[in-house]
Amino acid sequence: MNRSGEAKLRHLFQPAEFAGFKVKNRVKYGACCVSNYNTRDGFITPRELARTRIIAETGCGIITNQGAYPDPLGEGKAYFRQVAIFDDKFLPQFEMIARMIHDNGGVAIQQILHAGRYGGIDLGYCIQPSVVPQTLPHFRPPREITKAQIKETVAQHAEAARRAIKAGFDGTEITSFMGYLMANFNSRFTNQRTDEYGGSLENRGRFMRELIDGIKQATPDHPLIVRLNGTELMDKWGGNSEDECFELMQQAAECGVDMISVTVGWQEAPESSIGRDIPPGHWNHLAARAKKLLPDVPIAFGQRLPNPAMADQCLAEGIFDFWEVCRPLLADPQMLHKAAEDRMDEVRRCVGSLNCLSRLFRDLPYTCTMNPALGHEVEPEYSIKPAAVKKNIMVVGAGPAGMECALTAAQRGHTVTVYDKNDRIGGALFGYASNDLANRDDMLSVMTYYETVARKLGVEVKLNTVVDPKLMRELLHVYDAAIIATGCRLDRSQLPPIEDGVEVLAAVDVACGRAEANGKVVILGGGKVGLTLAESLATSKHDVTIVEADKRLAGDVMPSWKWRHTAWIEELEIPAVTGVRVTKIDRAGVHVADAKGNARVIPADTVIAASPAVPAQELIHAFEWMVDEVHPCGDAVTPRGLGAAIQDGYRLGCRI
């Protein structure tokens, strides 16, 4: 087997020592929060085991299983379907997970996660060091933890660690990442106690030190990893300074922890830490500081560091000792193997859309925008299996839905040809990705991935080709199936009256460079399309106003990304007129009226409509009697987003 990539990334694939264990490489799979695939009472399900098998096969030298809560009452439980480890009755499935990791040559670590301020999801309250009100309304009202409860919580962590070792894990991990219980004690924001657990940094770190000591005593021959913030990003709320974060790392090191994982941020942090608006490598300085402070303690790090080549360079420079990676391996579980085989151009990149977190914050199982099989590994219908009947398939539309369907169908043995009227693949996504204020390269990588894999799979892509009934008549009996992935278009029939001679541009045409905005610009629609375009135009010195019928903007934006658009709108000083309907558009501008009938005119030289959208379904009906099978896909079914388009394409490709 070709392993030429290992020579190029020799630091990443270099064997290492960790707490007496021989580790096959310097990659640690990080516990990616929780999956929400399990039962409400904490038992691990077949769905979880199927997903964990994929994780075990990622090739990581150290693999951390997702966080399990350690208390029978559930005060530490953060998510509806979080796994539990407070009783031996849970151990059989943990034993299976430990075996999966060992069978694939990994060191198995079990994370113990008590959510503290974010816990008590089934109880209606949470516990934390002090009664500090929640800044986010969906979390539970706090109760102050007593000294007796502190002792009990430490004992529960120690018992959970002992139980994990009994199940076959090699070591355990405790975490303050995201603002969980340990972070609540460490931070000035949530720890306002006046006893020996509060006040000075030494006192605030006491709970952490007792946790470490309790677990080390319970499992003396097994490593313990602690995840600690390099920065909290909680200055707005009076949280710890960066210096205080590193003093806490020093405390943990003095207690004898075997590794420190450097993390960034809380759930309540008013700024981003892991989204694509953070440039790759942005937080590396935190890992470098930790390594300089603690040269004898292994440092794991991977926050917004999605690329193996970047990680290899960091290892070469001694910035950290282990690349801790999670979300990039959700997007492409084969990433390390592809890197080892020098096939990085075939990697599905994590695009940092935070779909995974958005789902968790709505108490749903996590999924991935880029990986349509995530969470469905246990379901045979989500597997790519050889087709019973090999078909000649035409795909109309080279957007994400069409390309995903084409590649999936080709992997099953079908012959696939993709047609698109544009001169490049990507559909509308290319235009919007090109206007994204975040890391545009992440979104543009979707197109380069499809181009590369299509070429390697032998999928023919015919660009600059309009598919219509005339062309189809020339191709009668050539194709067994037609996939209609033609996307959506502006529904001009639903626009308000427009004065003769006044043009309303479609947002997609502006985004893709087919139309140009000049002078004062008014954008109709404050969803993700309108926001993305408005932000991009504003950075190009355009005078932009958004008009939205709803009272709030970003109605179709992922929950964990809404704040980002809101912040950009404020930073760019883009006026947003909400809760109004557009009554007409003329040379004076856009006429609007609110619910009380108050009318005004917003001056405009250019009017761009980002909504309403309607699926482009004409070919579905036109081809009904021209080809054996006709299947709509993606936005041609109903307009949605990138994740839904990829899901549609994959599922259709698996079954056609």
pTM of the model: 0.95
CA angle (457, 463, 467) in 5-degree steps: 110
Q: 338-388 pLDDT, tens per residue? A: 999 999 999 999 998 888 888 888 889 999 999 999 999 999 999 999 999
CA angle (280, 284, 286) in 5-degree steps: 140
* pLDDT score recorded for residue 354: 85
Report yes or no: 71 and 109 within 8 Å, Cβ to Cβ. no
Question: DSSP letters along 475-541, please?
Answer: TTTT-SEEEE---EEE-GGGSPPB-TT--EEEHHHHHTTSS---SEEEEE--SHHHHHHHHHHHHTT
Report yes or no: 273 and 560 within 8 Å, Cβ to Cβ. no
**In 10 A of CB 482, how many CB atoms?**
26
Report yes or no: 133 and 176 within 8 Å, Cβ to Cβ. no
* pLDDT score recorded for residue 632: 98
CA distance 309 to 331: 17
Q: Length of the chain in residues, anyone? A: 656
CA distance 413 to 318: 46
* pLDDT score recorded for residue 352: 87
Nearest partner of 602 among 621, 616, 588, 618, judged by Cα: 588
Specify the amino acid at residue 10: R
Question: DSSP letters along 563-579, please?
Answer: HHHHHHHHHTT--EEES
Helix (H), strand (E) counts: the chain? 22, 27
Question: DSSP letters along 583-613, please?
Answer: EEEETTEEEEEETT--EEEE--SEEEE---E
Q: 502-532 pLDDT, tens per residue? A: 999 999 999 999 999 999 999 999 999 999 9
Nearest partner of 154 among 164, 166, 145, judged by Cα: 145
Question: DSSP letters along 437-473, please?
Answer: SS-HHHHHHHHHHHHHHHHHHT-EEE-S----HHHHH
Q: 2-56 pLDDT, tens per residue? A: 789 999 999 999 999 999 999 999 999 999 879 999 999 999 999 999 999 999 9
For the chain, list the domains and their CATH numbers: 4-360 (3.20.20.70), 387-489+616-655 (3.40.50.720), 492-611 (3.50.50.60)
Strand partners, 590: 585, 602
Strand partners, 608: 505, 523
* pLDDT score recorded for residue 107: 98
Strand partners, 172: 110, 224
Report yes or no: 342 and 2 within 8 Å, Cβ to Cβ. yes
Specify the amino acid at residue 602: I
Tokens of 71: 């208390």
Q: 380-421 pLDDT, tens per residue? A: 999 999 999 999 999 999 999 999 999 999 999 999 999 999
634: left (phi over 0), alpha (psi -120 to 50) or beta: left
pLDDT band of residue 1 (cuts 50, 70, 90) is low
